[in-house]
């Protein structure tokens, strides 16, 4: 798996993605708490979270269509430069009277960011061989989870110790660093053609609702089966273990996919999902 990172272009894309994602999680974790500090309002804090997540829910499918028509490398560079400038505007915020401006900035930045992941994944077939795609995708899965592990604790620590400005500066700086890195990435012409399979479209349509439903169901289960004073710690633990197991899954998915093909890897995933669902089901029945 690590041999792919010895390839210059792949390493630039992967490391750049990690830096950008850590910056995203810094702000994603710190900004709602900052809004609560400014306003003391849970409603205002919830609205901030909605502004951060709404573009990915509403516009992600459209972003992929545009990315397919644009130069992917140029898209990544431009998106990172735009996010660098947009996030810097948060340094102007010093009171709750600026809250509407914060919402606008966050929504615009989140909207720009939804073009990044489709462009990254669309670039992978240009950078690695066909039989290395599973491993490359696994590396980017690990990338996402590493950012989840590093970004929120760092963002919270910076906010608690120094305020929001260092968080904003680091996030903005991360986008600038990534844009400069990607300038040096060389994108070869596509060496092979991947047909669009009906099953791929079906999975894409079903996966989004499944993720939402699973997340809501797990959160509801935790809220109704755990004492209130422990729920915060439990949600934090669930996020950490989710990231760790996602990293573990990504580490195994690449070698399995290369050796046995993608279908056996999906079979293993389905089996583990059934086992987990069974454990949850019988745990609930026994209480």
Would you give the DSSP letter of residue 27?
Answer: H
Nearest-angstrom CA–CA distance, 34 and 155: 11
Among all chains, which residue has been given the structure tokens 């061989």? 129
Contact 166, 88 (CB under 8 A): no
Kindly give, in sequence order, each residue whose CB lies less than 8 Å from that of residue 175, ignoring residues fewer than 6 positions away: 20, 23, 80, 81, 83, 84, 87
Q: Does 38 score more than 50 pLDDT?
A: yes
Question: What's the pLDDT band for 105 if we cut at 50, 70, 90?
Answer: very high
Tens-place pLDDT, residues 239-267: 445 545 555 565 555 565 556 665 565 55
Which pLDDT band, with edges at 50, 70 and 90, does 2 fall under?
confident
* Percentage above 70 pLDDT, the chain: 65
Q: Which residue has the higher pLDDT, 249 or 43?
A: 43
Mean pLDDT (the chain, rounded) = 75
Question: 280 vs 64, which has greater pLDDT?
Answer: 64
Per-residue model confidence (pLDDT) at position 212:
43
Average of per-residue pLDDT across 30-46:
85
Whole-angstrom distance, CA of residue 100 vs CA of residue 114? 22
Greater pLDDT, 54 or 226: 54
Q: What is the pLDDT of residue 250?
A: 52
Number of H helices, E strands in the chain: 10, 0
Collapsing DSSP to helix, strand or coil, 195 comes out as coil
Residue 21 CA to residue 35 CA, distance in Å, equals: 21
Sketch out the chain's domains with CATH numbers: 1-189 (1.20.1250.20), 197-287 (no CATH)
Over 60: is that where the pLDDT of 49 sits? Answer: yes
Mean pLDDT to the nearest integer, 150-172: 89
Mean pLDDT for the stretch of residues 131-141: 80
Q: What is the pLDDT of residue 15?
A: 92
Give me the pLDDT at residue 140, please: 81
Q: Average of pLDDT values for 16-36?
A: 88
Which residues are within 8 A (CB) of 172 and not within 5 positions of it... i.e. 6 or more apart?
23, 83, 84, 85, 87, 88
Which residues, other chains included, contact 108 with Cβ-Cβ below 8 Å and sequence gap of 6+? 86
The tens digit of pLDDT for each residue in 201-243 reads 454 555 555 454 454 445 445 444 544 444 334 444 444 455 4
Q: What is the pLDDT of residue 234?
A: 45
Residues 150 and 26 sit within 8 Å (Cβ to Cβ) = no
Tally of CA atoms within 13 A in the half-sphere of 147 that contains its CB: 24
Would you place residue 117 in the very low, low, confident or very high pLDDT band (cuts 50, 70, 90)? confident
Q: Residue 88: pLDDT band by 50, 70, 90 thresholds?
A: very high
The secondary structure element, H or E, covering residue 41 is none
Phi and psi angles of residue 176, each rounded to the nearest 5 degrees, phi first: -65, -45
At residue 33, does pLDDT exceed 50?
Answer: yes
Angle between the N-to-C axes of helices 8-39 and 164-183, in degrees from 0 to 180, rounded to the nearest 10: 160
The pLDDT value recorded for residue 209 is 53
């Amino acid at each position: 798996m690590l041999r792919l990172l010895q390839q210059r272009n792949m390493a630039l894309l992967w490391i750049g993605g990690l830096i950008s994602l850590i910056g995203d999680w810094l702000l994603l974790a710190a900004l709602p708490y900052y809004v609560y500090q400014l306003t003391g309002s849970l409603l205002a804090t919830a609205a901030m979270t909605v502004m951060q997540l709404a573009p990915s829910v509403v516009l992600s499918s459209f972003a992929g269509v545009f990315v397919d028509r644009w130069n992917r490398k140029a898209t990544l560079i431009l998106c990172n430069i735009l996010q660098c400038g947009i996030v810097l505007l948060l340094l102007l915020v010093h009171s709750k009277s600026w809250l509407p401006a914060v919402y606008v900035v966050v929504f615009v930045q989140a909207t720009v960011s939804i073009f990044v992941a489709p462009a990254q994944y669309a670039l992978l077939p240009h950078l690695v061989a066909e039989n290395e795609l599973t491993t490359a995708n696994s590396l980017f899965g690990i990338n996402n989870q590493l950012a989840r592990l590093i970004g929120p604790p760092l963002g919270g620590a910076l906010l608690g110790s120094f305020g929001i400005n260092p968080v904003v500066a680091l996030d903005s700086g991360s986008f600038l660093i990534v844009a400069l890195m990607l300038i040096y990435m060389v994108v070869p012409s596509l060496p092979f053609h991947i047909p669009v399979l009906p099953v791929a479209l079906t999975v894409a349509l079903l996966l989004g609702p499944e993720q939402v439903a699973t997340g809501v169901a797990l959160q509801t289960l935790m809220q109704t089966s755990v004492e209130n004073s422990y729920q915060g710690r439990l949600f934090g633990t669930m996020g950490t273990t989710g990231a760790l197991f996602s990293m573990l899954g990504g580490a195994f998915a690449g070698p399995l996919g290369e050796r046995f093909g993608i279908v056996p890897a999906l079979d293993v995933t389905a089996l583990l999902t059934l086992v987990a669902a069974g454990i949850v089901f019988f745990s609930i029945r026994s209480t």
